[in-house]
Chain A
Amino acid sequence: MYPNQFEYLAPTTLDEALSVLAERGDEVKVLAGGQSLIPMMKLRLANPTTLMDINRLPGMDTIGESNGHLTFGALVRHNDVVKSDLVTRSNHTVATAAPWIADPIVRNLGTVCGSLAHHDPEGDWASVMLATGAEVVLSSSDGERVVPITEFLVDMFSTSCQPNELVTEVRVNKHSSRSGGDYQKLERKIGDYATVGVATSLELGDDGAIASAGIALTSVYPYNLKVTEAENLLVGSQPGDELFKEAGAIAAAASDPAGDHRGSAEYKRHVVGVFVERGLANSLAMAQGGQS
C-alpha cells in the first residue's frame, strides 16, 4: 500500500521546523515515530501534501526532570520510557503503562508526544496523562504556550494544537514517596488496542487519607475518559476496599463501551469496575510502601 504523493522535508533545527509550520501548517503532517501516521497515510485516511520529518531535530529525545515534572521531548520513544530508571522512580502510572504500548518493535519508533498529538481515542497515553496530570508544550514561531492535558485533548483525533504549532514536550506530574499509580490493560494480543484500559493515580496525605486521585479509562468511551466523579469520591476519604469498589462502580457506570469482536459492552463495563478496584489497590500499596 502506498500513500499519495507528498513533499518530504527534514529540517535540522527547531526554528526551521516552526517556520515551515508558520508558512504552510494546514498542509503539513508532522512525522515523529510514524507508527500511526504512516499506516493512516497508506490507507489514505491521511493525505498531507507536505510531510515534515522531525527526527533530525536535535535535543528532543530526552526524558528529564523540571519543577516537579517528568519531561518527555518530542522524540522520546515508548521504549525509552520502558527503559528509564527515572520514570520507574518518578511516576508509577507511566512506568506500568509503557510496556503495554503497542509491541516491542513499534515501541522502538513510536513516540509519547506523537501519540498524544495523534489522539487516537483508543490510545493509552492520554488516559495515563489524564490520571496523573500533565501539561503539553506547544511551540510556534510566535513563542511557546503550555496547556493542561485536559485542554489539549479536544475530541477523538483532535487536539488544541494549532496548524502552526508543534508539540515539543509533555510534562507529567511526578509521584512523591506518598503516591502510587498503575495502568491495567486487557488486550487480545500484544499490539492490539486495549479492550479496556484503566489508569489510576493516588496521593496520600499525612493523615493517611487520599489527598489527590486520578482515574481515566481507555477504549470504553468515544475518547479517553477522566472519571471526575470517582476521583472526587476518593479525595478526602480513608482508602479501603469498599471505597475502591464504589469508585469502580462509578467508573463502570460512566463508561459507554461499544460491543465488538473484543467483547460485549456489558463485559467491558464489568472489566472497567474490576480494573479500577485493582488499579487503586495497586496504587495504594505503592503509596503506602513508598516504593517504586
Chain B
Amino acid sequence: MKVTVSINGKSRSAEAEPRQLLVDFIRTTLGLTGTHIGCDTTSCGVCTILVDGTPVKSCTMFAVQADGRSITTVEGLKQNGELSNMQKAFHQEHGLQCGFCTPAMMLVGSAFLEENPDPTDEEIRWAISGNLCRCTGYMNIVKSIQAAAAMNNEEVSA
C-alpha cells in the first residue's frame, strides 16, 4: 500500500506492506535513523515519535495507520537550523549518557512542555514514566526538561 506522511514538515510517500511497523518505515524506508528500536514490545519507549503532536510508540503502530498523518522525529526538532531549546537543554545539563533513549526523551519532553509549560519535577517524572533510561538514573533528564522549560518561558516573557 502507498503510505504518505508529512514527516518533519516534508511530505514523503513510499510503499509499505500492511504489517510493516511504523518504526521500520521511518528508519529503513525513509532513512531517518534517529528513531531507535529498543524492546520491540511497547515497554521501553525509545521508539517514541510524535504523530500529530502526540507521543506514540512507533513499534506498536503500523506504517499504514500513519497514512495522511503528520510525524515528528528527533530529526525534526531543530528549528531554523539550530538546536531547539529541548536539545540545547539536554546538551547543557548532560541529560544523557549513552544517548539511546535521548531522541524519545526529547520528543516526549517537548510535547509535555506544550501542555504544561511550568512543570514540577514530579510532573516531569510522571510524563517520562513510559520511557526507560538505563544510564542516567533520570536525574539529569529531569533537569534538562526543567532547563528547557525555563528557556521556553524566558523567550515567551522576553
Chain A residues within CB distance 8 Å of chain B = 1-8, 10, 31, 34-35, 38-39, 41-42, 51, 53, 55, 102-106, 108-109, 190-191
Tell me, rounded to whole Å, the shortest Cβ–Cβ distance linking B143 to chain A: 20
In the bound complex, do residue B126 and residue A105 qualify as a contact, i.e. CB atoms below 8 Å apart? no
In the bound complex, do residue A105 and residue B64 qualify as a contact, i.e. CB atoms below 8 Å apart? no
Residue from A6, A35, A51 in contact with B42 in the complex, judged by beta carbons closer than 8 Å: A35
In the bound complex, do residue B56 and residue A105 qualify as a contact, i.e. CB atoms below 8 Å apart? yes
Sample 12 A-B pairs with CB under 8 A, ordered by A number: A2-B21, A4-B19, A34-B60, A35-B60, A38-B62, A39-B41, A39-B42, A42-B41, A104-B126, A105-B45, A106-B42, A109-B61
* Interface flags, B1-42, vs A, CB<8A=1, else 0: 100000000000000011101000000000000000000111
Q: Which of B74-82, B83-91, B95-103, B127-135 contacts A (4 or more CB under 8 A)?
A: B127-135
In the bound complex, do residue A1 and residue B130 qualify as a contact, i.e. CB atoms below 8 Å apart? no
Chain B residues within CB distance 8 Å of chain A = 1, 17-19, 21, 40-43, 45, 48, 54-57, 60-62, 64-65, 67, 108, 126-131
In the bound complex, do residue A8 and residue B62 qualify as a contact, i.e. CB atoms below 8 Å apart? yes
Beyond the given pairs A41-B19, A51-B18, 13 more chain A to chain B contacts, judged by CB atoms under 8 angstroms and listed by A's residue number, are A1-B41, A5-B19, A8-B64, A35-B42, A39-B42, A42-B41, A51-B62, A103-B130, A104-B126, A105-B57, A108-B54, A109-B61, A190-B129
Residues of A within 8 A of B61 (CB): 34, 38, 109
Residue from A4, A6, A55 in contact with B65 in the complex, judged by beta carbons closer than 8 Å: A55
Residues of B within 8 A of A55 (CB): 65
Residues of A within 8 A of B41 (CB): 1, 39, 42
In the bound complex, do residue B19 and residue A105 qualify as a contact, i.e. CB atoms below 8 Å apart? no
Complex A-B, nearest 5 residue pairs according to Cβ-Cβ distance, in ascending order: A103-B130, A8-B18, A105-B130, A190-B129, A104-B130
CA distance A1 to B23 in the complex (A): 12
Query: Are A10 and B19 CB-contacts (below 8 A) given A104-B126, A105-B56?
Result: no
CA distance A191 to B42 in the complex (A): 9
Query: Are A106 and B130 CB-contacts (below 8 A) given A38-B60, A39-B41, A191-B43?
Result: yes
Residues of B within 8 A of A102 (CB): 130
Question: Interface centre among A4, A34, A55, A105, by most B CB within 10 Å?
Answer: A105
CA distance A189 to B133 in the complex (A): 13
Which residue from chain B places its CB closest to the CB of A38 in the assembled complex?
B60
